[in-house]
Structure 1
């Protein structure tokens, strides 16, 4: 009897803690944030009962899809310009945007010793392919081009550039050996509890514009409590701890 009562109490507690009207939210998430979002999504569902459906990719492509009527309800961009643009166009809710993470750029190779801690390898050569995300659609790709221009190497390395659709694909090019090195998001190689494999240069922030990653509530999710709950959860201390554990800065 005591055991049955204990089980009933646990079931009642669980029922109370999870909303009866648990819903679903569709989120478009910048490719660099896919790893952290997987962990945050699990915690979000456990805390609220809401289901999270995530699509990850390049911010520029998401903008085009949203403009074309894609039913995303929340956007986690890799920049702050896209959310502001969507608000100005009436495709996102004014006042809902905020910075959820400050991104960091890294030059990375799976080969130990190839990339030095000053990024001098870019000028010395010794590699055939340098992967970057498409600078026209991916903010991390634009940041990579800023670094190359700041080092006055854009022309010299141009024949070696391998342009990826997103920062996730740029990472894959390097991880699979199709490019000896590449510019990636620091969060992709600095996963919690794991050392960085290979060699890397954490690019000084002075060489590229601050990568402020903003989230925004899209018009499609304006009346969806689950969408509002997701944005609120991103501001929680639990979510912030996860974000920092992946090497991001916070505003």
Structure 2
């Protein structure tokens, strides 16, 4: 199944109990709210599909894995309701990944920024290439990685999260692997895809009930995300409307 419009593409392919779920957008695979909503709905649907055991989450092309929030939509928000709704889109995706009954393997083929780092962190098992550097640059535009923080901290720890947030600089794929965000890092996408195919097929042969139960164990202690992430979305929504953020966003656009 493919959904495509001016807000990006979402392609779902199912074969041998394995789903390839691919999102894409011309602006470095960034996320407008519409694409976030479509991804959330598809994850929720796949969670209830008895013909699916494993999901491989990937993005289109050979450039960035995900540039995070749509820059154009960040600039366009004009009130707290709109801004909170936008950031809640990322909260919805993270919660859908968290509660999805299927194991999610992340194919992180390139750089990830902001919300893209959060999505990589919310995968149950992420594989990457040497090109898959990560960055949290939100402070530079007057906001912060509030919504994705619980997902990233869960994987790399509070100290590493603080380092990424405050330094707002690129961290290498090797660094991300050392901190636990990536399970393995490969030199080429060919090697990456070979490993993903083998690993997904391996998981697909396991008892789906066992996979669903172990996923619940992986995510124990995150039940408060049903409220926490939306509280964080409101914080981001308020900050993105500040004079500081408006000036910074317009400067970046120029």
> Is the helix fraction higher in 1 or 2?
2
TM-score by length of 2: 0.25
Return the index of the structure with the highest Cα Rg. Answer: 1
- TM-score normalised by the chain length of structure 1: 0.25
